Amino acid sequence: MSNTETTGPDLTHLGIPEAESETETHIGLTETYAAHNYHPLRVVLAKGEGAWVTDVEGRRYLDCLAGYSALNFGHSHPRLVARAHAQLDNLTLTSRAFYNDQLGPFAKALAELTAKDMILPMNSGAEAVETAIKVSRRWGYSVKGVPENRAHIVVMEGNFHGRTTTIVSFSNDPDATQGYAPYTPGFTMVKYGDLDALESAINEHTVAVLLEPIQGEGGVVIPPDGFLRQVRELCSARDILMVADEIQSGLARTGKTFACDHEGVVPDIYILGKALGGGLYPVSAIAADTRVLGVITPGSHGSTFGGNPLAAAIGHEVVQMLQTGEFQERATVLGERLTAGLEALVGHGFDAVRSRGLWAGIDIDPSLGTGRQVTEALLADGVLAKEAHGQTVRLAPPIVASEDDIDLLVGAFEKICRG
């Protein structure tokens, strides 16, 4: 029996009609037994290789979301899979109660890639952001001399740093914040890209400015030219840590190793994740100099899985792949091709296109439809993408995509715009 003829198990006792296809079976199971914290497109993926994925019915799709940039190197990259397999045969977890033979080499390589003295490994991106917040506050108390319980951090409107209770406390997205009060104090939010607002928000107890060099979740929102340099200068002048969340923007996505590199800016703390795990495993970290990360002492922060041998082995391989510059250059070249194709559609279904490297946000003309409707139309044409905030579609194809893949993506949009 072919995939398209496959029927699933009888779920009528759960109140689910008999499935007509394997796709409907899996969607029914997920909707019944998993909390509804996402609204996925109606496709059930089963396999992936490079920039392409295959669903349970055997249909292939070009993945132009790449796990929100977690899959910069594509699905099942041979180098990463081989490294993971090799480590699986040896050792996967020790806890940090003991040393392991993978963490040291990974830490050294990542410290060198970021030009920082040391790293602190975690698992998810949100954990890394929480770690950066904790380190910033502890640095403020023990180094800067801020009075206890007064540490203050400035953040940006439109941010997305994760969904923990502390992080949503400084979000202005109602979907992320509603119903989770009381909120964690100690944060002031200012308009993204507004240096005057930022400067006005800083006070004697400010320990850090936390920002994304490019706001991914907001629809690939790029700050005004020079803003990152101005933030760097302001933080240096006021003895404040500049903390850059490069979880989505970093590791070659924008054509540079870090998005901050586009302005020649080096933050005090890098926050990294997503692509650091190669799309195989959750790996995150912060990187900083000893004057900052030296405030962490035994017992003051930790994670059972952070820095485990499997994560460290995969992360080390990712760093080695980035050291050649191959992926950064490829993101630049493919990004130029993608941008040229998309910008030709402005005024013909698109209101605006924002892009940097192989990362783009497209504002859809309402007469064409909503962002969700456009992603559904793309799905029907074999392309996977994601809407953001109603009228925006965001794209982040794997950097291993081909020129033909990029042309196919642009062609799918052209077809939609033609109606």
| Same domain (yes/no): 287, 329 | no
| Same domain (yes/no): 317, 330 | no
CA separation for the pair 223, 215 (Å, rounded): 8
Task: Please check whether residue 35 lies inside any domain of the structure.
Answer: no
| Same domain (yes/no): 416, 311 | no
Residue 411's alpha-carbon distances to 344, 405, 406, in angstroms, are 11, 10, 8
Q: Is 363 left (phi over 0), alpha (psi -120 to 50) or beta?
A: beta
Condensed to tens digits (0 to 9), the pLDDT of residues 240-274 reads 999 999 999 999 999 999 999 999 999 999 999 99
Q: Residue 417 belongs to what domain range?
A: 325-345+366-380+412-419
- By mean pLDDT, which of 15-19, 394-398, 415-419 is the weakest? 15-19
| Same domain (yes/no): 239, 275 | yes
CA separation for the pair 236, 136 (Å, rounded): 14
Task: Tell me the mean pLDDT in the region 123-129.
Answer: 98
Task: Please check whether residue 138 lies inside any domain of the structure.
Answer: yes
Residue 305's alpha-carbon distances to 92, 123, 302, 309, 311, in angstroms, are 10, 7, 9, 9, 8
Condensed to tens digits (0 to 9), the pLDDT of residues 396-412 reads 999 999 999 999 999 99
Read off the CATH number of the domain in which 228 is found.
3.40.640.10
| Same domain (yes/no): 335, 308 | no
Task: Please check whether residue 165 lies inside any domain of the structure.
Answer: yes
| Same domain (yes/no): 341, 296 | no
| Same domain (yes/no): 257, 283 | yes
- Are 164 and 340 spatial neighbours (Cβ–Cβ below 8 Å)? no
Q: Is the pTM of this model over 0.85?
A: yes
With 0-12 CB in 10 A as exposed, 13-18 as middle and 19+ as buried, what is 279?
Answer: buried
Task: Please check whether residue 395 lies inside any domain of the structure.
Answer: no
Task: Please check whether residue 334 lies inside any domain of the structure.
Answer: yes
Predicted pLDDT at 1: 31
One-letter amino acid identity for 372? R
Residue 2 has pLDDT above 80, yes or no: no
Task: Please check whether residue 407 lies inside any domain of the structure.
Answer: no
| Same domain (yes/no): 109, 123 | yes
What mean pLDDT is reported for the chain?
Answer: 96
Condensed to tens digits (0 to 9), the pLDDT of residues 359-401 reads 999 999 999 999 999 999 999 999 999 999 899 999 999 999 9
Residues classed as catalytic: 160, 245, 274
- Are 391 and 364 spatial neighbours (Cβ–Cβ below 8 Å)? yes
Of 371, 331, 378, the closest CA to residue 355 belongs to: 331
Residue 9 has pLDDT above 60, yes or no: no
Task: Please check whether residue 240 lies inside any domain of the structure.
Answer: yes
| Same domain (yes/no): 341, 301 | no
Predicted pLDDT at 20: 75
Task: Please check whether residue 191 lies inside any domain of the structure.
Answer: yes
| Same domain (yes/no): 416, 294 | no
| Same domain (yes/no): 166, 252 | yes
Task: Tell me the mean pLDDT in the region 147-152.
Answer: 98
Number of domains in the chain: 2
| Same domain (yes/no): 195, 331 | no
